[in-house]
Structures are given as structure tokens and as C-alpha cells.
Structure 1
Amino acid sequence: MRAVVYTKYGPPEVLQLKEVDKPVPKDNEILVKIVATAVNAADWRLRKADPVAVKLFFGLTRPKKTILGGVLAGIVESVGCDVKRWKAGDEVFGSSGMNMGAYAEYICLPEDGVVALKPFNLSYVEAATVPFGGHTAIHFLRKANIQPRQKILIYGASGAVGTAAIQLAKLYGAEVTGVCSTANVEMVSSLGADKVIDYTKEEITGDNYDVIFDTVGKIPYEAVKKTLKKKGTWILGGAGVTQMVQGYWSGLSRGYKIISGLALEKEDDIRFLRELIEKGKYKAVVDKSYPMEQLSMAHSYVEKGHKKGNVGVIIDETLDTINK
């Protein structure tokens, strides 16, 4: 099969399209023919080893897992002998998590993995873009115990996690303020934000937010101090070392509840997202998509940090025309 692999850390050009062995499902696994995947922040950070601590877990001198890609949508081609829940022909979407491997034509996933039937009203590429932002937003909003009528500020509201967080916070009944650049104000508003702040034109203000969700790790610390309630919740969704230190110091000195770490992916959550999508309560936000052969270009675009929502990658263009 074809796969995009990388054998060393570095710029997007380290990603190379090659022929590799097609995986064979174990007794408790399903073999999925991947129709589409997506490029997320985790992908380019692993490719680049940014931060350098990535190497401690994924290989000191070169990557242990040579095929990136943590999300997918596709068709079950075959199943292991013990699999009961899936059958050949099922259209699915979900996540391979830290096992990665979705930058390829085929992948094996456990029967009880983070997989669900693909929403009938999404194309494959749209479906593939849902899990990363959706899982991350659900995880952090639940940890923050978001409540109806609470005020939440979402910084980086136009990205994969931000666009998901706006929609989910509104479903929880919160009052949402999104922060983004001029080009994304209209989109953020269309997703349900009650107020949108263009950070290129105005300062971040507000009436004592209950929750600040920084999805990109770039909110000015002064803005947090001025606008977050005493004992409010600060979600460090994309924090670097400096913001981590500021966050935990603020937790001690100002009484903020600090939430950070990796977002856990759950099978129940991918099913929850599917139900919302099919009921018209959640939208897949896709900026653009690239063919598999241009995956390095997709990485370059995403790494610049200016995408609107998500960037998809089409592995099989003929099949992605189905159910659009």
C-alpha cells in the first residue's frame, strides 16, 4: 500500500510517499481502507519534534512510528475472526490516537477502539476532521465542568479545537466569546459565538469570565489576569513551558483552577459527536483539503497557524465523492 512516512525529524519535506506493507488485522481488529485523514497540530509537532521532549517518547534519534496521522474516515475492508461489532463495508470514522498510522491507504484498529459509524450527512474528508478538535474540546470542557449561563472566553476560536469548543460550549448553555483575527470573525460568529473579539484591533475585555479556554497557548497573561474571575478556570489547551509556569503560579497565587495535559479520547465521545452531527447540532469546519501526494504542503499550511478550522487530506479521491 501507499503511505506517507518520515524517518527523521524535520521540516515538512521529510514526509515522503512510499510503498509499505499492507497491515493484516489481528483476531480482535478491523482493517479500514482509509478514504481521508487530516493534519492537526499534534502531527506537525511530532514531525518536527517540537518541543524537543517529544523525542523522549517517540524516539531519541529518529521516530519510532514512521507513519503519522491520528484521525481517519474510511470503509471497513475486513475483520478479525473475533470481531462482532463491525463488518466489511461499514463506513466509519474515528481516531488511532498515539498509535498514529492514518497517513496511509490502510490501517488496523481494535474492535473497541475510538471508532463509530460515519455520520451519513458528512463526506469522508469532513468526517475525518471531526475527531481531533471534537475530542479535545469535549475533554477540557467537561473537566472545567462548564455550566449553563457561565461566561467562557475561547482564545484561538477559529482553529480545530476552537471551532469545536464554540459549538460544544453553546450546547452546554454557556455564553461564548471567541477571540480570533479579522479574517475569521464572521466564521466564528456563524458557529454560535455570542461575541467575537478581533485581537488585531481590540484588547481582550470582558465581565469576569468563569472559564478561559486558550486552545493555542498564546493568550497574553495580562488579559487572563484582567478578565478571569477569582477562582475561575483557565484551560491551557496548547500551552508551552512559559504559559505552564504562569498558569500554575496563577493557580497558587490567584486561586485559578488550572486544567492542562493530554485530552483523553473515548469511544462514547466519538458516538456523541456523530449524534450531534446527524441532528444538525454540530458542524465540521474544513478550511481546505489536499491530496495524499501533497501532504507535506498540508503540513506547511497548518504549521503556519492561520487555518480556519481543519485541514483534510484525501487518500482516495474517488471514494470521497460518496455521500457528499
Structure 2
Amino acid sequence: MKTIKDIKTSSLGFGCWAIGGTWNNINDSDSIDAIRAAVDYDINFFDVAPVYGLGHAEKVLGRALEGVERSKVVIATKCGLVWDSNNNVKNDLSACSIFREVDESLSRLKTDHIDLYQVHWPDPNTPIAETAQALAELKQQGKIRHVGVSNYSLDMTREMMEGVEVATFQGLYNLIEQNPKSYHGIPLSYRARDEVIPFCAENDIKYLPYSPLMQGLLTGTLMRTNNWDKNDDRHNNPKLNGEVFDKYFNCVEELKQLAKTAQVPLSYIAIQWLTHQPEVGPVIAGAHTIEQVRENALSLNKVLDQEILLRAEDIVRKWGVQ
């Protein structure tokens, strides 16, 4: 178990990006079954965002959790990425936009409160103080319980903390991408392991790692080429395509040999590398089928020796990937 302030969560969370329909071969029926299976496996933390499928992922999550006792699940969603009638997305963390977004999310999620409300990406056009004040008002109104930041720099995070308590920091972080400089080609203004993890330890903030399996690479099931078509968002990740992908793929091939020695799937090593870190909160592992949920849940059943995790770090260091 993990703790976000006064909320107890499972060590493993359920990431809802894929159920928005942005990956290949996703359908709502399977997604709903997967979410309900997660509850059965005692996974209680669900991370979603309005922009995932332009509202669709929140609707699917809301449908799936109908009939589940609200106190038994922790719902985390986000704000700050909004779209127009032509589905053009822009950053907007103004107070007016946040007040509108939260009500829309509450409606789609079929709930009266959000346990963790996170700013999705920085908005350079809105003062952070304005965003913080709006979030503090939502806490006071009872619409949200806690506030988190995502993809913020440490300076931005400190400024946010001046106006509202920050409970979590969500960012890209996995066994291979320990201090990544970009995500899908978007520059990142933080270094996860070297900067943010120590900051979280000092300030009672939980780090929520997204892409813990590097969008499927750390399952060890990807091929060297032809993993997806242009309809899959992973096609737009430069690290997973073309010549750049070769180094990542070769690193994973060596990690797979380590997993074979440990007699576990590679995903077990990748997930436990994260859950063993006290500063890390629920690991946001995506899933859209019952089998994927089951595999993720079982990853914590066999506790790995620290030696295996250190050997995995050595392999990643050898290949020089980020």
C-alpha cells in the first residue's frame, strides 16, 4: 500500500490513457471489464484525464465504476488541456477554465468529488498563482480532495505550493527513462530521479510515475519493427520508432535475459523497481484487458531481491539510454 496524504492507495494504479481509444484494438466493453477486474484485484487508484479520447476515457471510467462503493476507489483526473469544436487542443489553466473543467469531469465520472486533481501540463499564459487559487477554492468547495502537478519544473512546483498544498508530482519515470529529457518529442523541464525524487522526499509529496513500462517496451513483447500503425499514438513516440529505437530494443533484450534468470516476466522487474522506492506513489500502469490487469497485479506477488533490481540498473546504465 501507498499513502497520498490521508488517502491509502494500492501500490499499483490503473492508467486510463489507452481506454480513451488512442491505441490500437481498444473497445469500451474490454476496457470496462478491465477496470472492474482491477477493483477485484484490489487496485483502487485510477488515473485519467479529460483529454484522453477528448472526454471518452472519463466516461468509460465513470460507467465502469458505477455500483462500486465510492470510498473504495481513488479517482485522479487532470485539468489544463482543453479542446475546441474542431478538436484542437490547447493549454488553459485559467481559473475560469478550471472551474468549467472540474464540473465536466465530475459529470463524466459520475461522482461528486475527485480525490486527486492534477494540472496536466504547464500553461505559460496563466500565472501559477491564479491556478493555485482556483484549485484551493475547489478544495474548499469539496469538489476535490487533493492537488497534484504533472510535468512541472521544480520552480513551478514550488510556486504552486505557495498557493495550495501539493500532494503529488506526476512525471515520466521508468527503469529505462530515469532522467528523461523528452516525452513524445516534448521537452521535459525536470529530471525525475536526480531532482524530483529527492524533492518529493523532502516535502511529503508522492511521485506518480507514468509510462512505467515505457508504453509496452518493458513488457518485452515488442518487435524490432512494425509494432503499430499510424492510428496508434505510440507511432508518434520517436524513442519507439526508427533508428533511435534500436538502442532501447537492444537494452530490453538484455533485460529479458535477466528476467529469465530471475524466472519472472520483465514487467515484474520494471514495476518493482518503482514500487521499492518509498517516494513513489501508485505506479500508473496502463491496461485495457482483463489479462493485462491480471499480469500487472501479479507483478507484486513475487518479491524480487534487491540484487536483481540493481543488476537491471547496471544493464540500463551500460546501454546509456534515457
- Structure number having the greater strand percentage: 1
Which of the two has higher C-alpha Rg? 1
TM range (shorter): under 0.3
Normalising by structure 1, report the TM-score: 0.26
- Structure number having the greater helix percentage: 2
Normalising by structure 2, report the TM-score: 0.27
